[in-house]
A and B are shown apart, each in its own frame.
Chain A
Amino acid sequence: MSELVDCRGLSCPEPVMLARQALQETGNGTVQVVVSNAVALDNVTRAANQMGWQVSVEEEGEEFKLSIKK
């Protein structure tokens, strides 16, 4: 079972804080993040981009799955 950063239902800035922490812990590779609102999607994407990571997003019903790669 793979790992992911579960930010569903969390309000900002928590998703950004958790995602940043995960990215820092991972260093290189892929981090999966799942968020449940557009604000968190925007903010996590912006933070990841600023840290030099590439983000691809998949919309699954009411949720967004982000694959963040470096």
Chain B
Amino acid sequence: MRDRLSIIFAGAVVGLLAVILVLQGNPANMGFCVACFIRDIAGGLGLHRAGVVQFLRPEIIGLVLGAFVTALYVREFKSTGGSSPLMRFLLGMLMMTGALIFLGCPLRMILRLAGGDWNALVALPGYVLGVWFGTLFLKKGFTLGRSQEQTAVNGYAGPFIAAVLLILLVTAPAFIFFSEEGPGSMAAPLFLTLGAGLLVGILAQRTRLCTMGAIRDLILFKDYHLFLGFAAIFVVALVGNLFTGQFIPGFEDQPVAHVSSLWNFLGMTVVGFAAVLAGGCPMRQLILTGEGQSDALLTVFGMGTGAAFMHNFGLAGSPAGVSPAGQWIAIISLALLFIIGISNVNLHRKAKTKDYSKAS
């Protein structure tokens, strides 16, 4: 019971903070968007030159550092890695590809829905379909293999990079890009964005909140524990939006969104599928990074790299829609996910093995 209340509480806090962040300056329906914000950071570092989406988003920094401090405190910080690093990097790229076709990570999909953006209602079944694809492979024995304990520096790398980004944000040296217009120029004050990131990082570390796990566990085990968090984000953000006049229902003219239903649907299919194979939604990857998992950090690097490719080659969606090249990349991404899925299935998986643990 306590577990259930904590995950509902965590989801509710995410929903509430998302509404507040938008009221205080974040782009509409974008209180939190892990994919968008990692893309903005890639832009801030000059990895892509889409001038309207460049900013070192403090929410991302806060999520990693919040999870890091909490994991240290509860003695869950552990340097691990080495579980198919290349696959994880690629899955990160693909997750970002899908997110930038739809224009949002799963968390933003929930927030867009709570803001009355019906395009997200089209994307939701796409997301569920993607997660379902992933579970088919899990059932067949999909695995990226075991992670190993690594030297401490591997685990501290993620939090260290987050701290460096924070220094760069505050000192704003000339080589860091800051959007002067567009979504990248819109942000709530630093103490709010960083504080919200830290708080959600702490709560998500404790409760394992994951927007992919929510759907995956329902499909695989009929376990609705994580879904309670997913639902709480939606309900609180919806109520918050209704109270603050930010609930504007419709398909057309939604903020940082397009109306190409097929690509909204398929974009999120790619995200859901990739997230299952990578073992967590974009937000969860940041939390795992804070806990010392270098595999998760590689997934985040993949997401940043994916964002750079998507913008450098004009593949990302925009309010005008998805370009033909972008449509192709969505299809190719889906095909790649099937290939990654098939090629990492262990057909000989057995639940029980001989007990060697006493010998080692």
Contacts and interface: CB of A to CB of B under 8 A. Distances in A.
B78 interface: yes
B171 interface: no
A19 B225 CA distance: 18
B162 interface: no
Interface residues of A, number: 35
A25 B221 contact: no
A10 B145 CA distance: 7
Contacts of B78: 37, 62
B83 interface: yes
Q: How large is the interface on B (under 10, 10 to 19, 20 to 34, 35 or more residues)?
A: 20 to 34
Contact of B355 (A2, A10, A13, A42): A2
Chain A contact residues: helix, strand, loop or mixed? mixed
A34 B147 CA distance: 14
B357 interface: yes
A58 to B, nearest CB: 12
Given A9-B147, A13-B216, A4 B76 contact: no
Contacts of A1: 354-356
A19 B351 contact: yes
B223 interface: yes
A39 interface: yes
Contacts of A62: 78, 149
A32 B80 CA distance: 24
Contacts of A66: none
A20 B221 contact: yes
A70 interface: no
Interface in B304-360: 349, 351-357
Nearest to B354: A1
Given A37-B76, A38-B76, A22 B148 contact: no
Interface of A: 1-6, 8-14, 16-22, 25, 31-32, 34, 37-39, 42-43, 46-47, 50, 62-63, 65
